[in-house]
Chain A
Amino acid sequence: GESVGLHLPTLSVQEGDNSIINCAYSNSASDYFIWYKQESGKGPQFIIDIRSNMDKRQGQRVTVLLNKTVKHLSLQIAATQPGDSAVYFCAENITPGSTLTFGKGTMLLVSP
């Protein structure tokens, strides 16, 4: 997988492969993280979240891993499908209230 940086990195995989999308977050005080999926022409869609008192959380075909030591978050998608093609964003909750700070995003392209 590729790390989120100032440009939009792209991860290309074959259908059925497992995908790993990485994110380096900015603030060691962040205690809540969310992964969103954004398809072309749509708003971001919630995928999975994790709190800082956990290091792993699993959903349906997705797993989020949190490494607080190096401020790193990853999203693993099992058996990737063409419908998973989208831009994926990580977001962190830093300030009081529910404001989120987003990473730049990673484009996932799944070939049939």
Chain B
Amino acid sequence: KAGVTQTPRYLIKTRGQQVTLSCSPISGHRSVSWYQQTPGQGLQFLFEYFSETQRNKGNFPGRFSGRQFSNSRSEMNVSTLELGDSALYLCASSLGNRQETQYFGPGTRLLVL
């Protein structure tokens, strides 16, 4: 099976712009979770989508949003970018059950100037 894929891999934006990142899960996986990784804060959970519905949400401002399509592919959007949004954005997929491994994609490196 192909692994989790994320596009684009690298992105440079300026403050105030908005950005959309895409994630394609492993075939058959219905859950997609998004995480932000920074040197200072580590890996922080953004939100999880399961069957096109947001099932869990982390402690991030409303500028961070996401959605999931019927084929389980997911997008996350960040509006009004701030310098502090520079990070590696990771998505992970799983079947969606508890006590189950999540498999990560390579991430999208976002730099906000």
Q: Name the prevailing secondary structure of the B interface residues.
A: strand
Interface positions, chain A 78-112, Cβ under 8 Å from B, are 89, 91, 93, 95-105
Question: Cβ of B70 < 8 Å from any Cβ of A?
Answer: no
Question: Cβ of B56 < 8 Å from any Cβ of A?
Answer: yes
- Residues of A within 8 Å of B43, CB to CB, are 44, 89, 91, 102, 105
Roughly how many angstroms separate A89 CA and B44 CA in the complex, as a whole number? 12
Q: Which residue of B lies closest to A100 (CB)?
A: B102
| Contact assessment for A98 and B31 in the assembled complex, using a CB-CB cutoff below 8 Å | yes
| Contact assessment for B42 and A93 in the assembled complex, using a CB-CB cutoff below 8 Å | no
B69-113 Cβ-contact flags toward A at 8 Å (1 or 0): 000000000000000000000101010111111111111000000
Total number of A-B contacts with CB less than 8 angstroms? 71
- Residues of A within 8 Å of B45, CB to CB, are 99-101
| Contact assessment for B98 and A98 in the assembled complex, using a CB-CB cutoff below 8 Å | yes
Question: Cβ of A2 < 8 Å from any Cβ of B?
Answer: no
| Contact assessment for B99 and A93 in the assembled complex, using a CB-CB cutoff below 8 Å | yes
**Stretch of A12-20, A45-53, A56-64 at the chain-chain interface:** A45-53
Roughly how many angstroms separate A51 CA and B90 CA in the complex, as a whole number? 24
- Residues of B within 8 Å of A98, CB to CB, are 31, 33, 48, 94, 96-98, 100, 102
Beyond the given pairs A51-B99, A100-B45, A105-B42, 8 more chain A to chain B contacts, judged by CB atoms under 8 angstroms and listed by A's residue number, are: A31-B98, A32-B100, A43-B92, A43-B105, A46-B101, A93-B99, A97-B56, A103-B42
